[in-house]
């Protein structure tokens, strides 16, 4: 029961959802719509589980005075402030939710991503050494795309670098991406088939 029921439910759901794609009938469309909304509703509850787990972990950290426990107040404060700003009508009407997004979440996220520019530069310095032919190709493609995307590159080459960058992005890059996508598509479909047939059971913690 503990093992067979989940495997059976997975098979039924996957089978029905696969079949509905090929059957243009109203009842199968309803199966699709119901499944889609079920997926989203269960997804919301799983987010609740994640938030509960986050809160429990930080409360435990504060209670037991674990290492760097003081920061847990900041995490919990941010979480509750955002939830209150988004769900308490009086705060929501004053635009508190948008204010927190604009002045806390957005600046931190954007700066964290911009920080990656420095780490990418340092990683590139170590990785982009023209030691072999393929490493040289990688280096040249990256340099041409970067130079082709800034006004300096355009000025230096009288429009040649942007043209090379566009060609690299639209031809070899498309070919590479397409080959990867086809591989990913086949991989996803075979993985989904493994899930449907109960061969892949990692969601049951290996049982």
Q: Do residues 127 and 139 touch, judged by C-beta distance below 8 A?
A: no
Per CB under 8 A, does 175 bind other proteins?
yes
CB of 129 to other proteins, least distance (A): 13
Per CB under 8 A, does 179 bind other proteins?
yes
Per CB under 8 A, does 156 bind other proteins?
no
Per CB under 8 A, does 4 bind other proteins?
no
Q: Do residues 91 and 84 touch, judged by C-beta distance below 8 A?
A: yes
CB of 158 to other proteins, least distance (A): 20
Q: Do residues 207 and 3 touch, judged by C-beta distance below 8 A?
A: yes
39 versus 63: smaller Cβ distance to other proteins = 39
Per CB under 8 A, does 173 bind other proteins?
yes
CB of 77 to other proteins, least distance (A): 7
40 versus 93: smaller Cβ distance to other proteins = 40
27 versus 64: smaller Cβ distance to other proteins = 27
CB of 97 to other proteins, least distance (A): 7
Among 111, 125, 126, 206, binds other proteins (CB under 8 A): 111
Per CB under 8 A, does 130 bind other proteins?
no
Spell out, one character per residue from 47 to 86, where the chain touches other proteins: x when CB under 8 A holds, - when not.
Answer: xxxxxx-x-------------x--xx-xxxxxxxxxx-xx
Per CB under 8 A, does 23 bind other proteins?
no
């Amino acid at each position: 029961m503990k093992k067979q029921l989940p495997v059976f439910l997975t098979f039924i759901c996957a089978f029905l959802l696969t079949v509905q794609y090929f059957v243009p009938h109203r009842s199968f469309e309803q199966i699709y719509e119901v499944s889609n909304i079920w997926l989203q509703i269960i997804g919301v509850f799983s987010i609740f589980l994640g938030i509960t787990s986050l809160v429990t972990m930080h409360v435990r950290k504060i209670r037991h005075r674990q290492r760097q426990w003081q920061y847990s107040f900041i995490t919990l404060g941010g979480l509750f402030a955002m939830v209150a700003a988004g769900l308490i009508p009086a705060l929501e009407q004053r635009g508190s939710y948008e204010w927190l997004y604009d002045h806390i979440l957005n600046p931190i996220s954007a700066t964290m991503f911009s920080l990656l520019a420095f780490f990418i530069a340092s990683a590139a310095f170590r990785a982009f050494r023209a030691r072999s032919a393929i490493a040289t190709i990688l280096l040249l493609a990256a340099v041409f795309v970067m130079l082709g995307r800034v006004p300096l590159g355009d000025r230096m080459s009288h429009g040649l670098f942007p043209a090379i960058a566009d060609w690299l992005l639209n031809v070899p890059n498309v070919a590479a991406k397409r080959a990867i996508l086809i591989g990913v598509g086949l991989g996803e479909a075979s993985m989904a088939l493994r899930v449907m047939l109960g061969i892949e059971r990692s969601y049951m913690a290996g049982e």
